[in-house]
Amino acid sequence: MADNDRRGNDAVRNDWATKDFYKVLGVKKDATADEIKKAYRKLARANHPDSNPDDAKKHDTFKAVAEAYDVVGDADKRKKYDEFRSLSATGGFGGGFSGGFNRGRSGQAGFDVNDFLREQAGGGAGFGDMFGDLFGGGGARQRPQQARPRKGGDLETTSTISFVDALEGVMISLRLTSDEACPTCKGTGGKPGTRPHICGGCEGAGYVVAGVGGAFSMNETCPTCHGRQLVYDDPCPACHGSGRGTSARTIQARIPPGVKDGQKIRLRGKGSPGENGGPPGDLIVKVVVSSHPVFGRKDDNLTIEVPVSFDEATLGAEIKIPTLGGAPVTLKVPPGTPNGRTFRVRGKGARKKDGTYGDLLASIAVVVPEGLSDHAREALEAYRTATMATPLRDDLFREAR
């Protein structure tokens, strides 16, 4: 495993040793720091992906320019890079970075290049450890990166549907207003017809390094260009430089059968458009179910309150009750049925996820008449006389004591 890692590192170093960063930037080896920065900004501006969205060749040039400036634009890295290139050009690395020197200055084959680099540094870590900085191992300066694709934001909306539609499922239309790239500037934030320049706040990186205490630091989106790497002196008049706009659209959404009041349904890919080629976000629909004048719902069961008269509850009866969307059913009320008793009618409830149906729960509500005819009153008084010997509340007082 160690041999594989060494061969991989040697291949990377050999690849970097063959790159002439000065040539990439079009400057001489003895160019000043200002000349290098000026050359970088000119090339980055001319080849930036935002200014050339369909030109793959310029995209590659922009990456090469950014890579070159990342090294020779930093004084410490430039010094180490020049020393490294000088040794490579004069044969100081013998057979290259193959893991040995073909009988180099040590006089023996199989000599480790890492040992040699430490030797060049006088036994210290300085020159050998420069690869940690030069080949991706940290340092305050980071190479400019293209903005990564970002998923669009999720949208949330509320839709009210009827009780029946919630049970059976329904297709609804939703009018949405969402955030997207400004149609005037195509998301650049600049006034059409004007040209951008490299952001001075981050020097085209799109982010800045911020300390968070101690020896730790982290990258933050550049507050000047907001991660775009370029800035415009003249902002877009439509979006005022934000690069974002709003769009209105109507979509069709399927609400599945059995949805419950307050339930949220996620519709994949129906949210805000993504940025830089990223996928769209999701649409989250909160469903509000209207009440029904007769039926209620408890999980997968429907509920109904059935009014019965005193004599029906006392003597028993067979009564018809409605079902939702189906034929009435006959409910047998046995003699002596108390108020509030619930009967279960199988298979007449809400549709479940597996395609089966819940039950209809029918609760008895004994109705007390508001007025009585003379004949009814006489009959009820006769009933009272016949049953007054039954102590209804003796247990109540006994338990209270």
Summarised one tens digit per residue, pLDDT across range 134-148 is: 444 444 444 444 456
Residue-wise burial string across 212-222, b where 16 or more C-beta atoms lie within 10 A, e elsewhere: eeeeeeeeeeb
Return all residues near 5 (Cβ < 8 A) that are at least 6 apart.
none
* Topology annotation, domain 155-196+232-289: HSP40/DNAj peptide-binding domain (2.60.260)
Q: CA 206 to CA 226: how far, in whole Å?
A: 7
Dig out the tokens for 232 from the structure. 């415009």
Q: pLDDT-derived band of residue 26, with 50, 70 and 90 as boundaries?
A: very high
- CATH H-level, domain 295-387: superfamily: Urease metallochaperone UreE, N-terminal domain (2.60.260.20)
Kindly give, in sequence order, each residue whose CB lies less than 8 Å from that of residue 272, ignoring residues fewer than 6 positions away: 152, 153, 154, 155, 178, 179, 180, 280, 281
pLDDT digits (tens, 9 = 90+) for 36-73: 989 998 898 888 877 777 788 888 888 888 888 888 88
**Fold: same for 155-196+232-289 and 295-387:** yes
Alpha-carbon distance of 232 to 50, in angstroms, equals: 12
Closest CA to 14 of 75, 71, 85, 111: 85
- Residue 291 CB: number of other CB atoms within 10 A? 10
Residue ranges per structural domain of the chain: 2-134, 155-196+232-289, 295-387
Rank 17-21, 98-102, 125-129, 168-172 by mean pLDDT and report only the highest: 168-172
Higher pLDDT, 344 or 386: 344
Q: Which residue has the tokens 């002196």?
A: 233
For the record, the structure tokens of 386 come out as 């016949």
Looking at the domain 2-134, which fold is it? Helix Hairpins (1.10.287)
Q: How confident is the model at residue 159 (pLDDT cuts 50, 70, 90)?
A: very high
d(CA 379, CA 277): 84
Q: 109, 101 in Cβ contact below 8 A?
A: yes
Angle at 74 between CA 219 and CA 33, to 5 degrees: 130
- What is the structure's pLDDT at 212? 54
Average pLDDT over residues 277-305: 92
State the DSSP code for 73.
T
Name the pairing type of β-strands 283-289 and 155-161.
parallel
